[in-house]
Amino acid sequence: MRRRIFCKVLRLNLSILTILIFNTMSMNKYILYIAFMCLLSSFLGCSTDDAIKAYEEEKNILDKDSIELNVMANKWILRAMKLYYYWADDIPQDMESKYSICPQEFYSILLHRKDRFSWISTDKASNDEEIYGSSTNRGFECVFFYADSAQFDLVAEVIYTSPGSQAETDGIKRGMFIKEINGERLNVSNYKELLAAEKACYQFISVDDDIIETRYITVTREAIPQNPILASKMLQYKDHNIGYVCYRQFLNDNGDGSERYKNELVKLFAYFREQRASDIVLDLRYNTGGDINLSVLLGSMLVPEIGIKQEALKIKYNEKLTNAYLSMGYELSLNFMFNEEGYIGNMVNNIIILTGHNTASASEDLINMLLPYKKIVLIGTKTYGKNYGSQVIYSSNKDIKWVLQPITMKIFNSENLSDFDNGFLPDYEIDETSFLMKEFGTIDEPLMSKALEIITNNNEGEVARNRTDKNIYKNNLKRWKYSINVDELYSLKNKFIY
């Protein structure tokens, strides 16, 4: 009796073990495993056939449960996409026959060939990070460049430090270089792992004219509110009062409904108004987008008086959703809104926007909405090219864990133009990565320097001489005590790795 009970328990354990092993072993190894089970069963007097039968039963149950969950999720995904997706009319037919496949694969089949942006995830937290920023981070961001012709070793450069972070307190600044973390040389194989450490010792190298300083700073990941205003200032230059702001995201608050960051943006422009700003330099190099309504608010503070309360943007959905919204009395456009506190559109002569590869979505919408009303000067590099909007969709069914963010709209300005699928080209192309990065809003920062030239109509004067050039950058790097091939680093510097 005891032996029979033992064998039943053994068969159950072996069947479970078989499921685990079968899913991780090749077929040849599985055959060897069955042979081993036959020998073990002969020794114990238990049946291998019973063990295999138990495994098959367990596997069938798991497969059935998985398929049922897939069908449930995919039915919901298809319904949501047919209602909300911008290209709903182009969704392939007979998707019902594919209900049993993995929802991620199912979703990918639905996407239009032009769609570079829609995504699906099972992690709601990842969506919140996308909107509000990561809950913990290093307190600074950097870009990586190849440091050798083999494109293996890397060198990093800090592009900005988050206000209020420990990194800012420790003196980490824009333009510092990183070559080692925890004593390890950065390369394409280890840089992600080294950066992901909760606590690590970074080697920071700063280059300032003839002075090269090396510092070792322990960096600990911390919870940092993602204030979208990286830097702001009033700059009195010649006869101009120039308002400058580096703005990295159209973010109202940290998700608490306080509208803290929205209010801070209005107060900043109220300060520019109080200081009688004659020109504005809006730095959107790292602005990947955000709340389109906040983008319109910013545009409302900059648009000339002729544009006040006029149409800023038009939003186009798929036909079914358009008809539904119209039947409910929804407006399919956004108008500029007059905000007396921060309005400076009636006093500024020049609006200059600094752009980069990460200038996208709502920041591009800002450029597009102002174009019919004001000449905007763009300095930097081509923007990302995202003239679409998306919407986060959750299921009320708790058994469906998937989160969707499909493209639901295309955005046009008041002249029905939305022709920046490939990004806006700058009026003056300057790639900041070709220079030593200087502090935001200073005269010797290359993009700001060009903005000052335009504002003062001074193309050959003092400002131009202050701008850091390519030769200074290369000469400074040659003074490093490390063996970096400067010529190859310079030529490969545009090959970003994020």
Torsion of CA 482, 483, 488, 490, to 10 degrees: 10
* pLDDT exceeds cutoff 50 at 19: no
For 188-224, b where at least 16 C-beta lie within 10 A, e where not — what string? Answer: eeebeebbeeeebebbbbbbeeeeeeeeebebebeeb
Confidence of residue 51 (pLDDT cuts 50, 70, 90): low
* pLDDT exceeds cutoff 50 at 495: no
φ/ψ of 412, rounded to 5, equals -125, 160
> What's the pLDDT score for residue 384?
95
Across 159-164, average pLDDT: 93
pLDDT per residue over 192-203, tens digit each? 899 999 999 999
> What residues contact residue 370 under an 8 Å CB cut-off, 6+ apart?
299, 302, 303, 351, 376
pTM of the model: 0.78
Q: Which of 242, 301, 296, 297 is nearest to 269 (CA)?
A: 301
SS3 sequence of the chain: CHHHHHHHHHHHHHHHHHHHHHCCCCHHHHHHHHHHHHHHHHHHCCCHHHHHHHHHHHHHHHHHHHHHHHHHHHHHHHHHHHHHCCCHHHCCCCHHHHCCCCHHHHHHHHCCCCCCCCEEECCHHHHHHHHHCCCEECCEEEEEEECCCCCCEEEEEEEEECCCCHHHHCCCCCCCEEEEECCEECECCCHHHHHHCCEEEEEEEEEECCEEEEEEEEEECEECCCCCEEEEEEEEECCEEEEEEEECCECCCCCCCCCHHHHHHHHHHHHHHHCCCCEEEEECCCCCCECHHHHHHHHHHHCCHHHCCCEEEEEECCHHHHHHHHHCCCCCEEECCCCCCCCCCCCCCEEEEEECCCCCCHHHHHHHHHCCCCCEEEEECCCCCCCEEECCECCCCCCCCCEEECEEEEEEECCCCCCCCCCCCCCEECCHHHCCCCCCCCCCCHHHHHHHHHHHCCCCCHHHHHCCCHHHHHHHHHCCCCCCCHHHHHHHCCCCEC
* pLDDT exceeds cutoff 60 at 61: no
pLDDT per residue over 325-341, tens digit each? 999 999 899 999 988 89
Q: Residues of the chain with pLDDT > 90: what percent? A: 65
Contact between residue 200 and residue 192 where contact means Cβ atoms under 8 Å apart = no
> What's the pLDDT score for residue 217?
97
Confidence of residue 119 (pLDDT cuts 50, 70, 90): very high
> What's the pLDDT score for residue 208?
78
> What's the pLDDT score for residue 433?
85
Q: Which of 121, 158, 117 is nearest to 139 (CA)?
A: 158
* pLDDT exceeds cutoff 60 at 104: yes
Q: Residues of the chain with pLDDT > 70: what percent? A: 76
Range(s) of the chain covered by CATH 3.90.226.10: 229-467
Across 159-181, average pLDDT: 94
> What's the pLDDT score for residue 207?
82
Torsion of CA 9, 11, 16, 19, to 10 degrees: 180
> What's the pLDDT score for residue 489?
34
* pLDDT exceeds cutoff 70 at 364: yes
Least confident of 65-69, 112-116, 483-487: 483-487
* pLDDT exceeds cutoff 90 at 212: no
pLDDT per residue over 226-283, tens digit each? 899 999 999 999 999 999 999 999 999 988 999 999 999 999 999 999 999 999 999 9
Which residue carries 């700001």 as its tokens? Answer: 448
> What's the pLDDT score for residue 124?
57
> What residues contact residue 472 under an 8 Å CB cut-off, 6+ apart?
436
Confidence of residue 185 (pLDDT cuts 50, 70, 90): very high
> What's the pLDDT score for residue 362?
95
* pLDDT exceeds cutoff 50 at 32: no
* pLDDT exceeds cutoff 80 at 62: no
The CATH code that applies to domain 229-467 is: 3.90.226.10
Inter-helix orientation angle 48-84/27-44, to 10°:
140
Question: Greater confidence, 41 or 6?
Answer: 41
Taking the C-alpha atoms of residue 481 and residue 488, their distance in angstroms, rounded to an integer, is 17
* pLDDT exceeds cutoff 70 at 27: no
Across 39-55, average pLDDT: 54
> What's the pLDDT score for residue 225?
82
Of 2.30.42.10, 3.65.10.10, 2.30.30.240, 1.20.120.160, the CATH number of 136-224+481-492 is: 2.30.42.10
Question: Greater confidence, 209 or 390?
Answer: 390
pLDDT per residue over 430-479, tens digit each? 999 888 889 999 999 999 999 999 999 865 444 444 444 433 333 333 22
Average pLDDT along the chain: 82
* pLDDT exceeds cutoff 60 at 205: yes
Question: Greater confidence, 458 or 185?
Answer: 185
> What's the pLDDT score for residue 137?
85
Across 109-134, average pLDDT: 74
Structure tokens, 494: 């545009």
Range(s) of the chain covered by CATH 2.30.42.10: 136-224+481-492
> What's the pLDDT score for residue 47?
57
